[in-house]
């Protein structure tokens, strides 16, 4: 096997081999100990052992792809040979059959029906709502008074996605319920995804909290859908995702979605679109706090492009440096792991993969590979202006995945995040609270352990 420092092998004639196992495997436990103790560092270390490395989570074997070429082959070129895999299947009992957890023809059909809600025209409409939410966030701060940027970014991201989904159609009580239950579900989710299925039914507090929150979330969304259904019969169109899903028609069969399927899609989007954006945004504020010269350049650009008024959607494409800051934060703080499952036996890069085997890719580890990014641990937004051999290496940057399961909310996230960063930069400098060391905690996208910051007024 070659390390990711050299070009990965494409299909070559020659003997088919098994993927090498990562070192440190124990009977029954497999690699559970290093994964439990230091999951992020352990995943990153795998690239030293090959382009495809076998990992055992307990008795569950996973083939981790560490080269961009193999990841691209699995996500795009040979996507038809793979299903969703274990992480997604374990989430199905809670999230049902929305586009996040399904695959094959069903996924394709559903994705076609959900896609129009993410059309550019709609996103510009949502951008105005995002602008108002960002203004409200900024207006709630007092100069010199510490704020938790973890709480702030989560609230902002949830408001943005909830507004796009329900366009103000959620009652105060329902909004409070989504704010209460969604974080509990998101936090428990990662544990659920890797835990053996047999443990789900144990009446231990994490399971009880998780199940209760998931049930409340489903209940509240069912109520809103029932309400919308009644209103739709009266032809009221609210221009939001929910109205769109309720009226969406399958191009082949002419059928509409059942209320249950609509609920599953809404939950899928709330779940996939909240914590991801919130965490990325939190890291951006953290990085700006650690790099005052970068923050100053962002502020100068925002002053020049946006001026004194609120951020307008048309301003965003002109914020090129701010966009580089966003890309750089996405690179350093990417999703940790996604799975796929081989539907039939195959070979990949000369390695034999049996039917049913799990494969995984880690945007996080890929984006910190020194063969793909110069000084990968350094936060350097200017790297996105460089042109060199590394920049020409295809498929090295995949924060939103690729292929048929590529993030459906990628443009939404860009607008949402740039709007928040520009709005904050036009009013405040956020200074890290003294004496706090921000650590990285394992999560879907590794999260800051805490993020207290002090707003200093710019005007
Ligand atoms: C910075 C923010 C975000 C990041 C880094 C991110 C990342 C990703 C990635 C890597 C995938 C592909 C997973 C795979 O390969 O299986 C994905 C899928 C998805 N994302 Fe995002 N995402 C973000 C924001 C959003 C937002 C704002 C929404 C919705 C409002 C969203 C909705 C979805 C959905 C529904 C899928 C599943 C698509 C499918 O399987 O067809 N994401 N996201």
Q: What is the pLDDT of residue 248?
A: 85
95 lines ligand 1 (CB under 6 A): no
CA of 61 to the centre of ligand 1 (A): 25
Query: How far is residue 32's CA from residue 57's CA, in Å, rounded to a whole number?
Result: 5
At residue 164, the 3 state secondary structure works out as helix
271 lines ligand 1 (CB under 6 A): no
Atom number, ligand 1, closest to the C-alpha of residue 98? 35
Atom number, ligand 1, closest to the C-alpha of residue 401? 10
What band does 9 get if pLDDT is binned at 50, 70 and 90?
very low
Q: What is the pLDDT of residue 4?
A: 39
Query: How far is residue 266's CA from residue 96's CA, in Å, rounded to a whole number?
Result: 10
Q: Taking residues 109-125, report their average pLDDT.
A: 87
Among 200, 116, 209, smallest CA distance to 164 is for 116
Atom number, ligand 1, closest to the C-alpha of residue 334? 5
Query: How far is residue 364's CA from residue 377's CA, in Å, rounded to a whole number?
Result: 11
Among 176, 174, 172, 164, smallest CA distance to 243 is for 164
User: What average pLDDT does the chain have?
Assistant: 88
Measured distance between the N- and C-terminal CA atoms of the chain, rounded to whole angstroms:
58
User: Of all residues in the chain, what percent are helix, strand and coil, respectively (each to 5)?
Assistant: 55, 10, 35
Atom number, ligand 1, closest to the C-alpha of residue 269? 35
Question: CA torsion angle for 210, 215, 218, 220 (degrees, to 10)?
Answer: -110
DSSP string of 203-216, one letter each residue? --HHHHHHHHHHHH
- CB contact at 8 A, 242 and 263: no
Q: Count the alpha carbons within 13 Å of 421 in the hemisphere toward its beta carbon.
A: 39
414 lines ligand 1 (CB under 6 A): no
Q: What is the pLDDT of residue 234?
A: 54
Q: Which residues contact 407 (CB under 8 A, 6 or more apart)?
A: 272, 400, 401, 413
Shortest-distance Cα residue to atom 11 of ligand 1? 407
Atom number, ligand 1, closest to the C-alpha of residue 363? 10
Residue-wise pLDDT tens digits, 28-69: 788 878 887 888 999 999 999 999 999 987 777 899 999 999
Task: Write the CA distances from 128 to 152, 172, 416, integer angstroms.
Answer: 19, 21, 10
CA of 17 to the centre of ligand 1 (A): 34
- Angle, helices 172-194/205-233, rounded to nearest 10 degrees: 130
Query: How far is residue 362's CA from residue 64's CA, in Å, rounded to a whole number?
Result: 8
399 lines ligand 1 (CB under 6 A): yes
Among 247, 254, 312, smallest CA distance to 116 is for 247
Residue-wise pLDDT tens digits, 272-281: 898 899 999 9
Residue-wise pLDDT tens digits, 258-309: 888 998 999 889 888 988 999 999 999 999 999 999 999 999 999 999 987 7
Query: How far is residue 389's CA from residue 268's CA, in Å, rounded to a whole number?
Result: 38
Which of 272, 340, 418, 445 most suits a substitution to test ligand 1, by most atoms within 8 Å of the C-beta? Answer: 272
Shortest-distance Cα residue to atom 9 of ligand 1? 400
CA of 336 to the centre of ligand 1 (A): 13
403 lines ligand 1 (CB under 6 A): no
338 lines ligand 1 (CB under 6 A): yes
CA of 341 to the centre of ligand 1 (A): 19
Looking at mean pLDDT, say which of 203-212, 245-254, 397-406 comes out highest. Answer: 397-406
Q: Which percentage of the chain shows pLDDT scores above 90?
A: 53
pLDDT higher for 385 or 34? 385
Atom number, ligand 1, closest to the C-alpha of residue 340? 16
- CB contact at 8 A, 51 and 66: yes
């Amino acid at each position: 096997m070659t390390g990711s420092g050299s070009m990965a092998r494409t299909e070559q004639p020659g003997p088919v081999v098994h993927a090498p196992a990562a070192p440190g495997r124990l009977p029954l436990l497999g690699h559970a100990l290093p994964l439990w103790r230091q999951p992020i560092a352990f995943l990153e270390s795998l690239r030293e052992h090959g382009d495809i490395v076998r990992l055992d989570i307990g008795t569950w074997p996973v083939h981790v792809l560490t080269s961009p070429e193999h990841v691209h082959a699995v996500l795009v070129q040979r996507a038809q040979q793979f299903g969703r895999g274990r992480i997604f299947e374990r989430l199905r009992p809670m999230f049902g059959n929305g586009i996040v957890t399904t695959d094959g023809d069903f996924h394709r059909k559903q994705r076609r029906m959900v896609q129009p809600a993410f059309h550019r025209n709609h996103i510009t409409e949502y951008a105005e709502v995002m602008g108002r939410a960002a203004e409200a966030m900024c207006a709630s701060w007092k100069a010199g008074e510490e704020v938790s940027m973890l709480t702030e970014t989560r609230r902002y991201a949830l408001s943005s996605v909830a507004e796009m989904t329900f366009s103000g159609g959620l009652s105060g009580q329902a909004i409070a319920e989504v704010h209460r239950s969604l974080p509990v579900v998101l936090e428990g989710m990662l544990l659920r995804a890797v835990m053996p299925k047999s443990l789900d039914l144990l009446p231990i507090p994490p399971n009880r909290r998780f199940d209760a929150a998931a049930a409340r979330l489903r209940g509240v969304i069912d109520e809103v859908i029932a309400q919308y259904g009644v209103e739709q019969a009266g032809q009221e169109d609210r221009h939001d995702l929910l109205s769109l899903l309720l009226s969406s028609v399958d191009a082949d069969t002419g059928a509409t979605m059942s209320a249950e399927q609509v609920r599953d899609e809404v939950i899928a989007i709330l779940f996939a679109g909240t914590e991801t954006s919130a965490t990325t945004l939190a890291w951006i504020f953290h990085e700006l706090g650690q790099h005052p010269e970068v923050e100053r350049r962002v502020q100068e650009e925002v002053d020049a492009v946006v001026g004194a008024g609120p951020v307008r959607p048309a301003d965003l494409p002109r914020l090129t440096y701010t966009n580089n800051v966003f890309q750089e934060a996405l690179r350093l703080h990417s999703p940790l792991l996604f799975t796929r499952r081989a539907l039939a036996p195959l070979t990949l890069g000369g390695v034999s993969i049996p039917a049913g085997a799990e494969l995984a890719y880690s945007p996080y580890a890929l984006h910190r590979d020194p063969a793909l990014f110069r000084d990968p641990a350094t936060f350097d937004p200017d790297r996105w202006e460089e042109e060199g051999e590394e920049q020409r290496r295809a498929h090295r940057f995949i924060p939103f995945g690729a292929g048929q399961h590529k993030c459906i909310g990628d443009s939404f996230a860009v607008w949402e995040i740039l709007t928040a960063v520009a709005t904050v930069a036009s009013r405040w400098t956020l200074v890290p609270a003294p004496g706090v060391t921000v650590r990285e905690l394992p999560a879907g996208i590794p999260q800051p352990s805490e993020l207290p910051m002090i707003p200093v007024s710019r005007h």
